[in-house]
A and B are shown apart, each in its own frame.
Chain A
Amino acid sequence: MNPHASGFAAYNFAYLDEQTKRMIRRAILKAIAIPGYQVPFASREMPMPYGWGTGGVQVTAAILGADDTLKVIDQGSDDTTNSVSIRKFFEKTAGVATTTRTADASIIQTRHRIPEEPLKSGQVLVYQVPIPEPLRFLEPRETETRKMHALEEYGLMHVKLYEDIAKNGRIATTYAYPVKIEGRYVMDPSPTPKFDNPKMNDSPALQLFGAGREKRIYAVPPHTEVVSLDFEDHPFEINRFEDTCALCGAEGVYLDEVILDDKGNRMFCCSDTDHCEQRREAGHSGARAGQGLEASQ
């Protein structure tokens, strides 16, 4: 068989064959039926490397329809190299419309962030997940962790969080902060900063999680309770930034720290680039607006 001479270019809509999509959809349905439970699925080898979003790409490919509008973000940005690459992949293989506007997207594939703009009913947020098992760094064996989930044996996780407090006076987990779904499964929210955890709770959008290398899919259906683990005397807290976005002046959003020179000068700006653009279009501006961050990049 000779790919470059034959019908090699004739891939199915959104790359995956229909049987594979059906298998993935079945896993997704099971995941939705058991919120927070990691469903094993026969993850395929994808034309991008493991660890670069193969799980998210497979989930997106399985749910994508011709009339969907896709948004892809990485670190909150539509224009990081990996988000560009994945967006182009679906433009090429599915020919779907793409957007950078959160509100206009029916499917949003993300790595490490949840958009600032609240999601709506009917939207699907697809997370790329590197290590789906929240207990993995406490217990490396899959045979053990599956048992722990089955028996709802989450003491080890609480001990870990308690040890954090004992050692550091606070819980020293800043991202991939474990959550409990509907009072049952402890789940890894993917390495989003814990700042985004509250957005997962009672969200009107469907949240799907795909881990390609680890061959797991899990889900948080709309309006599901998502609680970040904590203690009565050490309640869960999100990080608050003292600064506001230097470009759009936004408060209470997740900020990126941008180093401006070799003298230690720095500025903060929205990690969610679409949110920042929308605000600037609406006339908001921050301390350094118009001072050429865009030009310098």
Chain B
Amino acid sequence: MYVAVKGGEQAIENAHRLLADRRRGDRTVPDISLDQISGQLALAVDRVMSEGSLYDRELAALAIKQARGDLIEAIFLVRAYRTTLPRFGASEPIDTGDMKIERRISATYKDLPGGQMLGPTFDYTHRLLDPSLAADSDPASAAERDADRGPAMRVSDILGQENLVEEDGAASSDDPPDITRSPVEFPLERETRLQALSRGDEGFLLALGYSTQRGYARNHPFVGEIRIGEVALEMDLPEKGGTTVIGRLLVTECQMVNQFKGSAKAPPQFTRGYGLVFGQSERKAMSMALCDRALRAGELGEDRTAPAQDEEFVISHCDNVQATGFVEHLKLPHYVDFQAELELVRGMRAAFKETRETVDDNPQPEAAE
């Protein structure tokens, strides 16, 4: 019985010991190191950093190991640690235009200043299992390009020169919102919404983004640009004499360019959907950009007809730590409430039986009671 009158403590302790044992697995196989996870399962680490909203490869790797590779559990571990950290202040906005680019592609231009750079992508690989990876591998070192060609102009800025795409819009206040430090109140400002989307579940946003492509709030997207690379993180530190670089982040940015008819006031113009996540994750950044654009329906005067356009629906359900907790809480004991339902159903069944018997004895048209 899982609701033991006594002995619950011992049972929990034993369960956790068993978990530790299963986590370690076969003792003759070496323990996996954090460096191995961080280096060789880098995209898993990126996802945990991104949805855990904490940029720390080592901690993310530790969380993945502790969670036995369950990424949502690892995200949860990182979040529960992050929440205890003090806040020193806000950094300056990162400048993705000044990115040290690892990959940069545009679907809207054949070629463009700065070029198309494929980078480390799965695209165009044939998804054939590679048996050589089952053993230790030592691939040839990567081809290197000539000295850094300097920053590449953002595609949205190219379109912006002709006013073909809407302005980026200013922040609603100088003080950036923090959804982890203030309760979310609907309707949201776009920057708050983007914050929630950036840490939202990749699978959930992928499905919603996909739904917009299949007609549930179609918004005619083009990938203006996806860029992955390192940006400098700067902070205004007066004691250091001004803005100082405090670190570098690997981020993925996606700018979707979408159609917009224009209105009586505004000439026809492309609109933007924006995605930005920690690490390398095009799938997530693209899904985020599709959802961002769909969620701007109200602002752009479009009818809200589909789930992806519904802010309360999308934002209230995109956090996988919240979702997994509440779904999984159903396995907690609920027998007190169930007892109340049992009594009710028994009572209603008894009443039903009684009515049936009376009706059978004395058939009469049903009265509208």
Contacts and interface: CB of A to CB of B under 8 A. Distances in A.
B342 interface: yes
How large, as a class, is the contact surface on chain A? 35 or more
A297 B329 contact: no
A2 B324 contact: no
A294 B5 contact: yes
A121 interface: no
Given A47-B80, A50-B325, A113 B336 contact: yes
Given A49-B325, A215-B184, A257 B339 contact: yes
A294 to B, nearest CB: 6
A50 B321 contact: yes
A256 B339 contact: yes
Interface in B323-369: 324-329, 332-337, 339-344, 347-348, 351, 369
Contacts of A42: 180-183
A44 to B, nearest CB: 5
Contacts of A213: 322, 325-326
Nearest to A77: B3
How large, as a class, is the contact surface on chain B? 35 or more
Contact of B84 (A17, A84, A143, A176): A17
Contacts of B1: 296-297
B302 interface: no
A80 B336 contact: no
B71 to A, nearest CB: 15
A51 B326 contact: yes
A1 to B, nearest CB: 7
Contact of A82 (B184, B185, B332, B341): B332
Given A143-B312, A174-B344, A49 B7 contact: no
A185 interface: no
Given A17-B86, A46-B80, A255-B339, A81 B5 contact: no
Interface in A15-70: 15, 17, 40-47, 49-52, 54
Interface stretch (B8-16, B146-154, B166-174): B8-16
B143 to A, nearest CB: 35
Nearest to B351: A169
A51 B5 contact: no
B351 A191 contact: no
A40 B183 contact: yes
A41 B336 CA distance: 29
A46 B321 CA distance: 11
12 contacts: A17-B84, A40-B183, A42-B182, A49-B329, A74-B332, A79-B7, A81-B11, A81-B333, A84-B9, A174-B344, A273-B5, A297-B1
